[in-house]
Amino acid sequence: MVIFSLEGKVALVTGAAYGIGFAIARALAEAGARIAFNCRSAEHLEKAKADYAALGIPVRGYLCDVTKEDEVARMVADIKAELGPVDILVNNAGIIKRIPMTEMGVDEFREVVDIDLTAPFIMAKAVIPDMIAKGRGKIINVCSMMSELGRETVSAYAAAKGGLKMLTRNIASEYGEYNIQCNGIGPGYIATPQTAPLRERQADGSRHPFDAFIVSKTPAARWGTPEDLMGPAVFLASEASDFVNGHILYVDGGILAYIGKQPK
């Protein structure tokens, strides 16, 4: 359907060397968008370029730390020169540190907030002027179950992702009149390198306790895959969502709807 087409659009997906960002970039490309992506590691960048090429997806890859305003400004200017102004921004780059709060250093807390919350602010500031000039734009912030829920050891991440939910709503409020839609995608527990420590087999070959816990908390009774996010991303990047603004679209297999398996 044409309303889901991204033909003629330029999409920038941050942190899309692998994982969720790679799947979202692939989805936007398959819907017709021209893709730019970034990461910090030259090794990740080169491998990602090969991985995109293997799928027949032309991409422009940039080394850029999204927490550095000068690097972001240079990347956005280079994309504008090479592909055109960014029509679709996906703030995907993110990290997590799993440390009990009282044992977490302030620098560690600040690093997580810097990447997961301040960087989406920096990125949005960099692309909104051209979106206003064009009279349209899409910003998609990758939120989390931790935008809604807490759990032990992820205080910085939950604070950042909760803030990202409200930054999403505020961008929607402040720039909606310019036909810019800012929404969030809230993935559930997705099998990527970021969650690999929560799924690794135990020494005795048994499943990680957290693995079994998440499957029990998910009505779909499985971990999500990056591919589960492809359709929702195309929807929020396309004209199909032009009257959706400030919404967090949870793609979680039902976790947020579920109190948990009741005693038999």
**Beta bridge partners of residue 12, listed in sequence order:** 36, 89
Cα gap 90→139, rounded to integer Å: 6
CB 188 within 8 A of CB 253: yes
Residue closer to ligand GCO, measured from CB, 192 or 238: 192
Give the shortest CB-21-to-ligand NAP separation in angstroms. 6
x-or-dash pattern for ligand GCO, window 136-175, by CB under 6 A? --------xxx----x--x--x------------------
Residue closer to ligand NAP, measured from CB, 111 or 239: 111
245 binds, among ligand NAP, ligand GCO, none (CB under 5 to 8 A by kind): none
Residue 166: closest CA among 211, 127, 122, 120: 120
Residue closer to ligand GCO, measured from CB, 122 or 198: 198
Residue 148 phi, psi dihedral angles, 5° rounding: -120, -30
Q: Does 13 bind ligand NAP (CB under 6 A)?
A: no
Using DSSP's 3-state secondary structure scheme, residue 184 falls into: strand
β pairing state of 10-14 and 88-91: parallel
98 binds, among ligand NAP, ligand GCO, none (CB under 5 to 8 A by kind): ligand GCO
Identity (one letter) of the amino acid at 232? P
Residue closer to ligand NAP, measured from CB, 8 or 254: 254
Is 18 a known active-site residue?
no
Residues with Cβ within 8 Å of residue 154, at least 6 apart in sequence: 96, 97, 98, 146
Single residue of 13, 113, 117, 144 touching ligand NAP by CB under 6 A: 144
Q: Does 249 bind ligand GCO (CB under 6 A)?
A: no
β pairing state of 137-142 and 34-39: unpaired
Residue closer to ligand NAP, measured from CB, 14 or 181: 14
Residue 159: closest CA among 125, 206, 118, 124: 118
- Both ends of the chain: CA-CA distance in Å? 45
Catalytic residue among 18, 52, 62, 157: 157
Identity (one letter) of the amino acid at 211? D
x-or-dash pattern for ligand NAP, window 154-193, by CB under 6 A? ---------------------------------x-xx-xx
Q: Of residues 76-135, which lie at the interface with ligand NAP (CB under 6 A)? A: 92-95, 115
Any idea which residues carry the catalytic annotation?
A: 157
